Chain A
Amino acid sequence: MPLLELREVGARYGQVVALRGVSLTVDEGDFVAVLGANGAGKTTTLRAISGTVKTSGDVLLDGDPVFRRRPERMAKLGVAHVPEGRGTFTTLSVLDNLRLGAWVQQGARGRDLARVFELFPVLYERRDQRAGTLSGGQQQMLALGRAMMARPRLLLLDEPSLGLAPLVTREMFDALRQLNEQGTAIVVVEQNATLALEAARHAYLLETGSVVLQGEASVLRTNDDVRRSYLGY
């Protein structure tokens, strides 16, 4: 039984249809990349999962459909959504940001904080500083750390590499790989298809709200259309 399943999910913003009958599956411990151009519906797919947008169709967690999804509820069910732009609480300290991540866990455990600081030592150094003073890359690490504090079963990441230098991006994907090895399923939405396909095991390609291609990441990487349109060679 897959951890997450989307069945013919549709979504619209007013009159504009963003998703048309998207179906996808994420197994326990899977690493899935959702690719596509701007406006293809990648962000909306994540929003559909976390309940940030109203949808038609079914979203199933552990085989059970979750009706009337709301972000607070999905967080309690073990889904951590890191939206585009990282969503840092800039006026709170780094430590408070992390503590907030553990809200669904009845409060931060020292072990969880230690895990985050081990992965991202810079967060420990700046733990008492206002999160708004961190660089873009550090804020992305903070966003990831905050999501980790919730000990999620499923981590949704929207454009984590946006605005980050290549080196920082690689570090971040290394961290994601580690997290995945420890058992967290990851769905990453990325315009940087190369990096995403290297890290992921499965991938879905969206175009104007529909899935046009899906399969193992290694297969998609060698697909001619994908290479031409999204990998640039």
Chain B
Amino acid sequence: MANLLQQIVSGLASGGIYGSLALALVLIYRATGVINFAQGELATLSAFICASLVGHGWSFWAAFAATVALSFAGGMGLHTVLIRPLARGPLLGIVILTIGLLIAVNGLDTWLWGGAVRQFQGPFSTSPIRVGGVAFSKQDLGVIAVSLVAVALMGLLLSRTKLGLGLRAAAANPDESRLAGVPVDGMYALGWGLAAALGAVAGVLAAPSLLLEPNMMQTVLLYAFAAALVGAMTSPLGAVLGGLGLGVLLNLLGTYVHWIGGDLRLAAALALILGLLLVRRRA
């Protein structure tokens, strides 16, 4: 029983990371109709930046805040410089661009920081904390807390603020939004910025356990896609819940179904993606 709870909590921690990245994917897809294949690599870049700042003597939370802010600005810049000019062309062009971006950012990370795996000291200690007689990892609980706060803040921003309303309107009906005075291209850039910020959160939260290296987020991206598909690529809540559920499911499968273990977890996730896509087609 205690082991089950630990595995669930641990799964929720991974799930929080998947959900955050999935929310980023949904944000961009809903705003600009693009599937950003580079979202994971951008998150890795953010994690590297955070690690660099900490290496230069910054406290973790200061580095984290700066990284999120920089990622936000970077995301906005990315949309303005790369995506917006291609908006009028075929969608395939933008898709190819994000794949190219994936490769380019991966290369950039390797060039700047090398391909070696490195430790990333997170803000939470790995010592256990006893809750109701069961030992949980402080790191797991911390990751769950931070990712839930990030996702909740995003939800509040979207539903309760003027900017969030503008973003939702621009995503739903850009021509009509322009008539209402909404700067639609600015809203798209805002969406990309918010997605990059969420990605930064996911990357920094993942780094302590996944270990920092250029390919760190590649499997996380796949899990995030699976989670986003639970929400049909358009539901923020579906993406977050899908992420949490997937994290728990994969952890439990890996622990209790012996023939799946650690190696087949990715295959299980891919099977899930395939299954969801097939089911969606029929429904």
**Chain A residues proximal to chain B, CB less than 8 Å:** 50, 52, 70-72, 75-76, 80-81, 83, 87, 89-92, 96, 99-101, 103-104, 107, 146, 150
Contacts and interface: CB of A to CB of B under 8 A. Distances in A.
B178 A87 contact: no
A140 to B, nearest CB: 14
The 8 closest A-B pairs by CB, nearest first: A75-B181, A87-B176, A71-B178, A104-B181, A71-B179, A103-B181, A81-B179, A91-B172
11 contacts: A71-B175, A72-B178, A89-B169, A89-B172, A89-B173, A92-B165, A92-B168, A92-B172, A104-B180, A107-B162, A150-B180
Contact of A103 (B166, B168, B173, B175): B166
B182 interface: yes
B173 A76 contact: no
Contacts of B165: 92, 96, 99-100, 103
A88 to B, nearest CB: 8
Contacts of B169: 89, 92, 100
B183 interface: yes
Contacts of B172: 89-92
Contact of B183 (A72, A91, A146): A72
A89 B176 contact: yes
A100 B179 contact: no
A79 to B, nearest CB: 9
A87 B82 CA distance: 30
A52 B176 contact: no
Nearest to A146: B180
Contacts of A71: 175, 178-179, 181
A38 B162 CA distance: 38
Most buried by A among B165, B169, B179, B182: B179
Given A89-B176, A91-B168, 19 more contacts: A71-B175, A72-B178, A72-B181, A75-B178, A75-B181, A87-B173, A87-B176, A90-B172, A92-B165, A96-B168, A99-B162, A99-B165, A100-B165, A100-B166, A100-B177, A103-B162, A103-B180, A103-B182, A150-B180
Nearest to B184: A72
Nearest to B181: A75
Which of B173, B177, B178 counts the most chain A CB atoms within 10 A?
Answer: B178
A150 B180 CA distance: 8
Nearest to A83: B179
A100 B162 CA distance: 8
A75 B168 contact: no
A52 B179 CA distance: 8
Contact of A87 (B162, B179, B183, B184): B179
A17 B153 CA distance: 50
Contacts of A50: 179
Interface string B25-66: 000000000000000000000000000000000000000000
Given A89-B173, A91-B172, A92-B169, A70 B178 contact: yes
A14 to B, nearest CB: 16
Given A96-B165, A100-B165, A100-B169, A76 B176 contact: no
Nearest to A82: B179
Given A92-B169, A100-B165, A83 B180 contact: no
A99 B164 CA distance: 12
Nearest to A75: B181
Contacts of A83: 176, 179
A103 B178 CA distance: 11
A159 B175 CA distance: 18
B5 to A, nearest CB: 39
Given A89-B172, A91-B172, A100 B178 contact: no
Contacts of A99: 162, 165
Given A92-B168, A92-B169, A75 B180 contact: yes
A107 B180 CA distance: 12
A150 B169 CA distance: 16
Contact of A72 (B168, B173, B182): B182
